[in-house]
A and B are shown apart, each in its own frame.
Chain A
Amino acid sequence: MPFVNWLKRHLVVIAGLLTLSYLLLPNIVVTVFSFNKPKGRFNYQWQQFSTDAWKDPCGVADMCGSLSLSLQIAFWATVGATVLGTMIAFALVRYRFRARGAVNSLIFLPMAMPEVVMAASLLTLFLNMGAQLGFWTILIAHIMFCLSFVVTAVKARVMSMDPRLEQAAQDLYAGPVQTFLRVTLPIAAPGIAAGALLSFALSFDDFIITNFNAGSTVTFPMFVWGSAQRGTPVQINVIGTAMFLLAVLFVLVSMLIGNRRGRQKA
């Protein structure tokens, strides 16, 4: 039975592709429904094709405002978490000091904690301190949970770095500052970039922690959450589709540039 044999040999591939389609199905639905013209307040059922939402993406009250707020928070959370996390990562890899174990667990724990627990306890702190919930409390929370991810990403990169590279720089007349700027930092850059990118994605998409600590401030995920109760405008799908396409485009372009460079030099 040739067909059964073929099936046997490609079973893994078929199963993998099925999983991939499970992962992509919602994105396809989001894209298709960004061209819908729903009858009621909710955009869950297909009615008719329309490009209205694409022509007027900010046509919904407050949505683009929340989007820009989310982008700002994500930007500053990325900057903060990347700087603090990179410093910790270097300290952990490059130096011996007391209480390493304690430091490592303090960094691991936020990643092993359900978000709702961190969210609730942080809110308790802010309430006890009488802090005004809003932009700053959200930013504080986001830096906190992004920090550990940056540390992990940078640490992996710095650990895999050959210590002889820095010794070679020193041997070639570069002092400690020059060595750091000319050799260590450029080589650690991919790890730092990965940590920063992850921070941005995590912060931009965070809902649970933000929901607890935002007060009356509305980020984009909170806007979407609210609209699930009040009615989902098609523009949400437009934003979702645009973000998906931008991400794919960004990765493809950077890969093409990388390939081109590699080929030119080879």
Chain B
Amino acid sequence: MATVTEAEAPPLAPQPAPKPPKKRGRLVPYWLLLPGLLWLVVFFALPMIYQGSTSVQTGSLEEGYKVTWHFATYWDALSEYWPQFLRSVFYAGAATVLCLVLGYPLAYLIAFRAGRWRNLIMILVIAPFFTSFLIRTLAWKTILADGGPVVGALNTLHVLDVTSWLGWTAGDRVLATPLAVVCGLTYNFLPFMILPLYTSLERIDGRLHEAAGDLYAKPITTFRKVTFPLSMPGVVSGTLLTFIPAAGDYVNAELLGSTDTRMIGNVIQTQFLRILDYPTAAALSFILMAAILAMVTFYIRRSGTEDLV
């Protein structure tokens, strides 16, 4: 029989002194964190501070730079390069919207309609990553070449007339126009949109579609009221993963664009690596960082609340 006694403990043989509970390994997490965090502090956070200080320095390459709290650099940089800033936001925004419009059907296809082809399509989405993106971007020079089949088709359909009127293309050319740059940006960052979209779509229970259909929702209504709201996390992270790198990119503008399509990345790169005007370059880079952080924060807040609606 088992026994329960509430108060008195049974008499016991001589007991070993109760050991205090040991708190082993309290420092373990800090040792695990230390090397990696040190790396990020020294090679990510510290450089930001250096850059901040460089942006308020004056001087020259020959005589060296000194911190003089010369904030006018920011003003000068902004007043000289605001068109490139604006262009970056506009191109990156257009590329992000295009990525969403193009990427959503493909992510939806993989998540719900691909069946046994799902893995193959996934591979085909990821595999291009393994070919250097510069090589793939150069391929667009061939695809959009003057007088090539793509430009020819667009010309025949009079699409180029419309885009030229809008200022996206110039005459019979697509290369070296804003359209080419946006097309390249869209292409380069499309997988960054598709993968998060797929991840959040894949989590949706397929029976929800049937339930919505059962409750008299047409397919389009089901999409608007059920699927799309549930995929919001994917939409938010996808747009961020597309917009941020696109806004700082200078490869597409350089390879597919012209001097009229220079983005802020091009300016920073030129200032840093060719003109060697470090304060201006640092100030521009700082402004870009601040602008992107502000936009991202605002966007996350907004989408966070809209999620609840």
Contact = CB atoms under 8 A, between A and B. Distances in A.
Within 8 Å by CB, do A and B touch in the complex?
A: yes
Interface of A: 12-13, 15-20, 22-27, 29-30, 33, 44-45, 84-85, 87-88, 90-91, 94-95, 97, 103, 106-107, 109-110, 112-118, 120-125, 127-128, 140-141, 143-144, 147-148, 151, 201, 204-205, 207-208, 211-212, 220-221, 224-225, 228, 232, 236-237, 239-241, 243-244, 246-248, 251-252, 255
A95 B28 contact: yes
Q: Which 8 pairs, one residue from A and one from B, show the smallest C-beta to C-beta distance?
A: A114-B248, A16-B109, A95-B29, A15-B105, A247-B130, A84-B36, A121-B47, A91-B32
A255 B248 CA distance: 36
B135 A240 contact: yes
24 contacts: A12-B113, A13-B113, A15-B105, A16-B106, A19-B190, A20-B106, A23-B190, A33-B139, A94-B29, A97-B33, A103-B33, A106-B41, A112-B293, A115-B245, A116-B285, A117-B248, A118-B47, A121-B50, A124-B51, A144-B43, A205-B129, A207-B251, A221-B132, A240-B136
Interface string B17-31: 000000000001110
Size range of the interface on B?
Answer: 35 or more
Interface string B94-133: 0000000011011111100100000101011111111111
B289 interface: yes
Contacts of B143: 25-26, 29
A228 B29 contact: no
Contacts of B154: none
A212 B292 CA distance: 21
B244 A228 contact: no
Most chain-A Cβ atoms within 10 A of its Cβ — which of B32, B278, B282?
B32
B56 interface: no
Interface in B211-258: 240, 244-245, 247-251, 255
Contacts of B129: 201, 205, 247
B142 A122 contact: no
A209 B168 CA distance: 30
A31 to B, nearest CB: 9
A135 to B, nearest CB: 15
Given A121-B285, A244-B130, 20 more contacts: A16-B105, A18-B102, A30-B131, A44-B141, A88-B37, A95-B29, A97-B30, A103-B37, A114-B248, A114-B292, A118-B47, A125-B46, A144-B44, A147-B40, A205-B132, A212-B272, A220-B132, A221-B134, A224-B134, A244-B128
Nearest to A29: B139
Given A106-B40, A122-B43, A17 B130 contact: no
B269 interface: yes
A115 B28 CA distance: 33
B191 interface: yes
Given A26-B136, A243-B132, A88 B33 contact: yes
A128 B54 CA distance: 10
A26 B54 contact: no
B187 A124 contact: no
B50 A26 contact: no
B67 to A, nearest CB: 12
B109 A144 contact: no
Nearest to A10: B113
A125 B106 contact: no
Contact of A236 (B107, B135, B251): B135
Interface in B125-165: 125-143, 145
A21 to B, nearest CB: 10
A69 to B, nearest CB: 14
B273 interface: yes
Given A84-B36, A85-B36, A251-B127, A26 B47 contact: no
Nearest to B246: A114
A15 B108 CA distance: 10
B170 interface: no
A246 B128 CA distance: 11
A24 B124 contact: yes
Contacts of A26: 128, 136-137, 139-140, 143, 187
B248 A87 contact: no
A125 B129 CA distance: 30
B281 interface: yes
